[in-house]
């Protein structure tokens, strides 16, 4: 990182710290965020962008590689300009004094550095390199293990997943068992499972780089297959009994048990504490009754991690919820029904979606569906802890989604860079035009920032499994980058970007789901990031 970039980043941090301190006072330490939602959202996003700029600057490649160094400076310059514009547009809300602004974002040397760094010629230079390398990502990752894992996941994904991805999407097929089997053999379902329970214990950074490669091949038919095991694994490690960990983690790690996560209901989404699906205590277990929505992979899954209300008193809120492992038979189609000998029924029907195809997402109806007592995570001690365990699992899911989003954006960048080098209009490759180079330069830059923010979150989670702010920021930013980069990539393809034969059209519709699940974007910003920044 150059001295000038260091100055920009220090200025962003200086102004942001002042704004966060002011935000804490205005929201009474985060308690009154709902009275200041619009500003809290601005702060959450600004802090996320600042964290991305810092993560990109901390990346080892920024020291050695000229293009990464340009990207680091350009991204920091853009973030600085956006933050300054926000502060000047809403001075009372931000509460950053003129004096602080003058010595940070408005300081003449910072302004000059930020302007130079984001000059269009810099982005065009980055864009030309992106076209030359066809967008390839070979960024250095600390640790040989992660780089080797990336190479082998890339080889697998390109050979085994890419040839099937278009067909699965266009025919709304279920991911073939052959892909699941091969991913199981490679150990991809047990990356976060400790070795004592049959997993790889590879840690979060390795999990992320593998997720990126799988998602670049197909978001739904590869990269997302490991989200659900990750979520259940983290919940079990946090709250499961020893016997439960021994029983469930080895088959999850081996890819023998496919998992669905069932939290959302038709009338309850973001307000998870209000989940209504009930679990009624009976001899030897629980009877589940109620509706669930959007349960991805519920047909093929062998078990569902289900959040249900064990305390019928609605006033118990989040403390009335428990997390169950619900066994079921796997079904291949878009609709299924599971009948138990004592009359319990589970019915599932997939909702049609424009993208994210390959696993199908189901509306479920449970009617007195029996689950043994030992399947309540934590057993007696886990009663009423389901919300907390689920949130722990979601933090892991969000981190993994940072990787999914980065991988998907990478696929779009590579497709667009390749197309820009080959497509000719007005007698020249479209990549020769300034605007195409500029667009590709900005796409690559925001993607590099999203990737490094996600890697930083993975390292933070490797150091402390309980972090929630870092994975939420990675998920928020990388999802937005995936949406923007896929859409820009589609425009670079012109009309062909709208054709189903071109993978970019699939990437566009796949990316749209990323800001929705695991905490829809506004909820992630307000309830996780703003609360994390302004609370305490
Ligand atoms: C393809 C797909 C797959 C999914 N897979 C799964 C899965 O496997 N398991 C699972 O459990 N769920 C899954 N989901 C569900 C997903 O997690 C939810 O859709 C998401 O959490 C949002 O809930 P909701 O749809 O009920 O939206 P709502 O909670 O109704 O929110 C809608 C909008 O209302 C506004 N809003 C709501 N509350 C507030 C507030 N307090 N302040 C300000 N604005 C607010 C926001 O603008 C928000 O975007 C999936 C969803 C999709 C689309």
Residue that is written with structure tokens 């799988």 in the block: 214
Q: Average pLDDT by consecutive 10-residue portion of the chain (536 residues)?
A: 92 98 98 98 98 91 82 97 97 96 97 97 98 95 87 97 97 96 95 92 92 97 92 93 97 96 97 96 97 98 98 91 98 97 97 97 98 97 95 91 98 98 98 98 98 97 94 98 98 98 97 97 98 92
Q: Is 302 in the pocket of ligand 1 (CB under 6 A)?
A: no
**518 is an active site residue:** yes
Q: Is 353 in the pocket of ligand 1 (CB under 6 A)?
A: yes
Alpha-carbon distances, residue 373 vs 83, 241, 288, 395 (angstroms): 52, 13, 12, 26
Helix axes 108-117 and 3-26, enclosed angle (nearest 10)? 110
Angstrom distance (rounded) from CA 48 to CA 469: 10
Q: Is 295 in the pocket of ligand 1 (CB under 6 A)?
A: yes
pLDDT one-digit tens code per residue, 391-427:
888 999 999 999 999 999 999 999 999 999 999 999 9
Q: Is 535 in the pocket of ligand 1 (CB under 6 A)?
A: no
Ligand 1 atom with the shortest distance to the CA of 356: 1
Q: Is 520 in the pocket of ligand 1 (CB under 6 A)?
A: yes
Q: How far, in Å, from the CA of 268 to the mean position of ligand 1?
A: 8
Taking alpha carbons only, the member of 313, 332, 264 closest to residue 292 is 264
Angstrom distance (rounded) from CA 160 to CA 175: 12
| Closest residue to atom 27 of ligand 1, CA basis | 269
Q: Is 513 in the pocket of ligand 1 (CB under 6 A)?
A: yes
Taking alpha carbons only, the member of 47, 52, 55, 230 closest to residue 141 is 55
One of 125, 265, 488, 518 is an active-site residue; which one? Answer: 518
H or E segment and range at residue 170: helix 162-170
Ligand 1 atom with the shortest distance to the CA of 516: 20
Taking alpha carbons only, the member of 391, 355, 338 closest to residue 519 is 391
Angstrom distance (rounded) from CA 316 to CA 503: 48
DSSP code of residue 528: I
Q: How far, in Å, from the CA of 247 to the mean position of ligand 1?
A: 32
Residue of 352, 522, 524, 530 to test ligand 1 pocket, by largest number of atoms within 8 Å of CB: 522
Q: Is 204 in the pocket of ligand 1 (CB under 6 A)?
A: no
Q: How far, in Å, from the CA of 269 to the mean position of ligand 1?
A: 5
Q: How far, in Å, from the CA of 215 to the mean position of ligand 1?
A: 22
Q: How far, in Å, from the CA of 518 to the mean position of ligand 1?
A: 8
Which residues have C-beta within 8 Å of that of residue 39, sequence separation ≥ 6? 23, 26, 90, 93, 94
Q: Is 224 in the pocket of ligand 1 (CB under 6 A)?
A: no
Ligand 1 atom with the shortest distance to the CA of 263: 11
Ligand 1 atom with the shortest distance to the CA of 271: 29
| Closest residue to atom 12 of ligand 1, CA basis | 264
Residue of 37, 277, 294 to test ligand 1 pocket, by largest number of atoms within 8 Å of CB: 294
Q: Is 261 in the pocket of ligand 1 (CB under 6 A)?
A: yes
Buried b (16+ CB within 10 A) or exposed e, 510-534: bbbbbbebbbebeebbbbbbbbbbb
Q: How far, in Å, from the CA of 33 to the mean position of ligand 1?
A: 19
Q: How far, in Å, from the CA of 397 to the mean position of ligand 1?
A: 15
Q: How far, in Å, from the CA of 5 to the mean position of ligand 1?
A: 38
494 in Cβ contact with 504 (< 8 Å): no
pLDDT value for 59: 84
pLDDT value for 76: 97
Which residues have C-beta within 8 Å of that of residue 161, sequence separation ≥ 6? 179, 214, 217, 218, 221, 222
DSSP symbols for 422-476: H-EETTEEGGGSHHHHHHHHHHHHHHHHHHHHHHHHHHHHHH-TT--HHHHHHHH
Q: Is 401 in the pocket of ligand 1 (CB under 6 A)?
A: no
Q: Is 356 in the pocket of ligand 1 (CB under 6 A)?
A: yes
């Amino acid at each position: 990182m150059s001295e000038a970039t260091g100055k920009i980043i220090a200025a962003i941090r200086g102004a942001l710290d002042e704004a966060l301190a002011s935000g804490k006072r205005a929201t009474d330490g985060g308690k009154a965020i709902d009275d200041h939602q619009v500003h809290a959202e601005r702060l959450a996003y600004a802090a996320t962008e600042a964290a991305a700029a810092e993560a990109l600057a901390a990346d080892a490649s920024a020291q050695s590689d000229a293009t990464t160094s340009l990207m680091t400076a350009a991204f920091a310059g853009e973030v600085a300009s956006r933050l300054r514009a926000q502060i000047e547009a809403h001075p009372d809300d931000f509460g950053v004094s003129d004096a602080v602004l003058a010595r940070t974002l408005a300081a003449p040397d910072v302004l000059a550095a930020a302007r130079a760094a984001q000059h269009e010629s810099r982005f065009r230079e980055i864009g030309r390199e992106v076209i030359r390398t066809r967008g390839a990502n070979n960024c250095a990752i600390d640790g040989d293990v992660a780089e080797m894992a990336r190479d082998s996941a890339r080889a697998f994904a390109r050979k085994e997943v890419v040839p099937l991805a278009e067909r699965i999407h266009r025919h709304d097929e279920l991911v073939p068992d052959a892909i699941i089997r091969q991913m199981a053999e490679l150990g991809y379902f047990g990356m976060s499972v400790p070795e004592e329970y049959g997993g790889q214990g590879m840690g979060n950074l390795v999990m992320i780089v593998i997720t990126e490669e799988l998602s670049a091949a197909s978001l739904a038919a590869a990269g997302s297959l490991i989200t659900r095991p990750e979520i259940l694994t983290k919940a079990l490690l946090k709250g499961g009994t020893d016997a439960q960990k021994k029983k469930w983690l080895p088959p999850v790690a081996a890819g023998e048990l496919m998992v669905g996560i069932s939290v959302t209901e038709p009338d309850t989404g973001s307000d998870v504490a209000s989940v209504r699906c009930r679990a009624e205590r009976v001899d030897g277990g629980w009877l589940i009754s109620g509706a669930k929505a959007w349960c991805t992979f519920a047909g093929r899954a062998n078990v569902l991690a289900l959040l249900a209300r064990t305390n019928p008193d609605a006033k118990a809120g989040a403390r009335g919820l428990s997390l169950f492992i619900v066994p079921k038979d796997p079904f291949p189609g878009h609709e299924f029904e599971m009948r138990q000998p004592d009359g319990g029924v589970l019915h599932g029907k997939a909702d049609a979606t424009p993208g994210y195809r390959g696993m199908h997402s189901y509306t479920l109806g449970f009617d007195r569906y029996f689950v043994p007592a030992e399947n309540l995570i934590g057993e007696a001690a886990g009663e009423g802890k389901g919300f907390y365990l689920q949130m722990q699992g979601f933090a892991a899911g969000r981190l993994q989604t940072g990787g999914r989003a980065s991988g998907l954006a990478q696929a779009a960048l590579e497709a667009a860079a390749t197309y820009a080098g080959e497509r000719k209009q007005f007698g020249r490759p479209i990549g020769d035009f300034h605007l195409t180079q500029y667009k590709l330069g900005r796409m690559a830059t925001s993607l590099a920032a999203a990737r490094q923010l996600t890697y930083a979150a993975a390292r933070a989670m490797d150091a402390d499994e309980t972090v929630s702010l870092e994975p939420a920021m990675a998920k928020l930013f990388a999802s937005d980058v995936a949406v923007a980069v896929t859409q820009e990539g589609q425009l670079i393809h012109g009309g062909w970007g709208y054709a189903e034969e071109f993978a970019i059209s699939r990437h566009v519709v796949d990316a749209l789901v990323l800001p929705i699940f695991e905490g829809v974007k506004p909820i992630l910003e307000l309830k996780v990031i703003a609360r994390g920044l302004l609370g305490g």
